[in-house]
Amino acid sequence: MFCPKCGTEHPDDSQFCRKCGQGLAATSSGVTSAGAGAAVAPARIPEVKSKPLVRAPFAIAGVLLLIVLIYGYNVNHTATPGANPNPVERLVKQQRIITVKNPNLHLNALNFGYFKLDVPTGATSVNLHGNFTASGGLTNDVEVFVLSADDFVNWQNRHEAKTFYNSGKVTVGTLNVNLPADAGTYYLVFNNRFAILAQKNVLVDAALTYYQ
């Protein structure tokens, strides 16, 4: 064998180098070992297998939610004025429209006219919208109210009544009235009871919308 330090040759059973004193150790195969100085092969690091993505369902749910929000945003910007249903409501419910239109609603002096509006059970985002124009007499004016069924009876009998809308005396006006959800009966009233002699004509173009 040879000294791993100085290269001096020695018998195979030598334990120390006779020249430099380096310790010698023989292996059964005749290859010398340098003790602590010998190279050691690095330990093998076990390969870690990647696990399936457990977050996939959450990612899918997030994408679906984003689609719903985008859809709701786009629909809201083209929605009927005043109505503001949420995106989910628009997806699971159908919009209903009741037209309230009369090109020539005639109102006698000291009298009034009205439209009865029935909202069914389960209705949401109930909204009355449109416009009207009055003509006749010296002032071309009319009063417009939106009342519940009970308040309409009180108003007819000249008692105090609460209104969802009260235009005051006007010639033209715009309706944009949000009404309570669920079943109910409402009246859109055009009043000319304050005029003693003048008859009025009213052009009405409106609609009641809700989701059900």
Confidence of residue 47 (pLDDT cuts 50, 70, 90): low
State the pLDDT confidence band at 79, using cuts at 50, 70 and 90. very low
**Domain for residue 99, yes or no?**
yes
pLDDT tens readout for residues 160-203: 999 999 999 999 999 999 999 999 999 999 999 999 999 999 99
Segment among 23-27, 28-32, 62-66 with least mean pLDDT: 28-32
Both tokens of 38, joined, read 């010998």
**Strand, helix or coil for residue 32:** coil
Task: Output the DSSP codes for 93-133.
Answer: S-EEEEEEEEEEEEE-TTEEEEEEEEE-TT-EEEEEEEEEE
Spatial separation of the C-alpha atoms in residues 107 and 206, rounded to whole Å: 18
Instruction: Dig out the tokens for 141 from the structure.
Output: 């004016």
Distance CA 1, CA 10 (A): 5
> Could you tell me the sign of the dihedral formed by the alpha carbons of 141, 147, 153, 157, in that order?
negative
Class of residue 167 by CB neighbours under 10 A (exposed 0-12, middle 13-18, buried 19+): buried
Task: Provide the pLDDT for residue 12.
Answer: 77
Residue 207 domain-assigned (yes or no): yes
Q: Are residues 128 and 205 in the same domain?
A: yes
58 in a structural domain: no
User: Which pLDDT tens digit goes with each residue over 96-107?
Assistant: 999 999 999 999
Q: Which amino acid is at 152?
A: F
Phi, psi of 115 (to 5 degrees): -120, 130
CATH number at residue 172: 2.60.120
Do the domain assignments include residue 54? no
Co-location of 11 and 96 in the same domain: no
Give the pLDDT score at 65.
Answer: 75
Q: What residue numbers bound the domain in which 29 lies?
A: 1-35
- Residues 196, 99, single domain; the answer is yes
Do residues 29 and 95 both lie within one domain?
A: no
Residue 90 has a pLDDT of 66
Q: Looking at the domain assignment, is residue 47 inside a domain?
A: no
* pLDDT cut 70: percent of the chain above it: 73
Cβ atoms within 10 Å, residue 205 = 14
pLDDT of 76 higher than 80: no
Is residue 199 domain-shared with residue 98, that is, in the same domain? Answer: yes
pLDDT at residue 80 greater than cutoff 60: no
For residue 126, being part of any structural domain is answered with: yes
Asked whether residue 129 is domain-assigned, the answer is: yes
Q: H helices of 56-96, where?
A: 56-76, 87-92
Residue 135 lies in a domain: yes
102 and 169 share one domain: yes
* Cα-trace Rg, the chain: 46
Count of structural domains, the chain: 2
Same domain, 30 and 106: no
